Amino acid sequence: MTTIAVLVGSLRKESFNLALAKGIESLAPEGVNFVYADMDLPLFNQDLEADFPAKAVAIKQVVEQADGVLFVTPEYDRSFSGVMKNAIDWASRPWGQSSFAGKPAAIVGASMGPLGTTQAQSQLRNVLLYLDMKVMGQPEVYFNAITGLDEQGHVVGESREFIKSFAEAFVAHVRSAASAR
Ligand code: FNR
């Protein structure tokens, strides 16, 4: 079984990014288990590192127990969301005990337009490379939620084949990194 930790950078109930993550999960190959991290964490405060909050411990465990990490990010003001950065900051600590180092990863994002999440993803990629993750380069997914989701939040139309091919490529990326270890 291949386990993927999923970090969705929106807490919104009807989040397009959560719908995209669920769409990727539903179109993924056999033998893959998606585990969604609880992203509703306290704000990072270095004073709390001496006694990590339970939710911060939990997200570190979700990432550490996974074979790969899928980052699903909205774009807020031409960057990725504070929710995403806060979760990354927690799981990257304490110093020397980052949960991310060496893990295979991919970034996708959904917005309401064709150009959305390009800048969010590019900035997030920079952070993940710093954290020494093995970030998949292609295919990139800049998902247009208006044309790509139906009213129930299911991936529809031409997007389905594309999201399926992304899911296959990502799982292959994660599995090849695991076999190289
Ligand atoms: C946005 N949105 C947005 N979209 C975009 O393509 N580029 C941007 O810079 C921004 N900036 C932005 C800032 C803030 C504070 C909000 C709340 C929204 C719109 C955003 O893409 C849209 O709200 C998505 O639906 C957010 O993702 P979820 O919550 O649906 O997953």
Task: Read off the pLDDT of residues 71-113 as tens digits, 9 standing for 90 and up.
Answer: 999 999 999 999 999 999 999 999 999 999 999 999 999 999 8
How many angstroms is it from 113 CA to the middle of ligand 1?
Answer: 10
Do residues 88 and 41 make contact, with C-beta atoms less than 8 angstroms apart? no
pLDDT at 116: 87
Q: What is the ipTM of this complex?
A: 0.98
How many angstroms is it from 56 CA to the middle of ligand 1?
Answer: 25
CA distance 140 to 138: 5
Q: Is 102 helix (H, G, I), strand (E, B) or coil?
A: coil
Atom 20 of ligand 1 has which residue's CA nearest to it? 111
Q: Which atom of ligand 1 is nearest to the CA of 19?
A: 31
Ligand 1 site, residue 11, Cβ cutoff 6 A: no
How many angstroms is it from 135 CA to the middle of ligand 1?
Answer: 23
Q: Which atom of ligand 1 is nearest to the CA of 16?
A: 30
For the chain, domain boundaries: 2-180
CA distance 164 to 26: 9
Q: Which atom of ligand 1 is nearest to the CA of 78?
A: 9
How many angstroms is it from 80 CA to the middle of ligand 1?
Answer: 9
Mean pLDDT in order along the chain per 10 residues (181 residues): 98 98 98 98 96 97 98 98 98 97 98 90 98 98 96 94 98 91 70
pTM beyond 0.95: the answer is: yes
Pocket test of ligand 1: the residue of 11, 40, 112 to mutate, having most ligand atoms within 8 Å of its CB, is 112
Q: 39 Cβ partners below 8 Å, 6+ apart? A: 7, 8, 9, 11, 59, 83, 84, 87
How many angstroms is it from 114 CA to the middle of ligand 1?
Answer: 13
pLDDT at 67: 98
Do residues 7 and 39 make contact, with C-beta atoms less than 8 angstroms apart? yes
CATH 3.40.50.360 applies to domain 2-180: yes
Dihedral of CA atoms 140, 69, 144, 80 in degrees, nearest 10, equals: -100
pLDDT at 149: 95
How many angstroms is it from 112 CA to the middle of ligand 1?
Answer: 8
Ligand 1 site, residue 129, Cβ cutoff 6 A: no
What's the whole-number average pLDDT of the chain?
Answer: 96
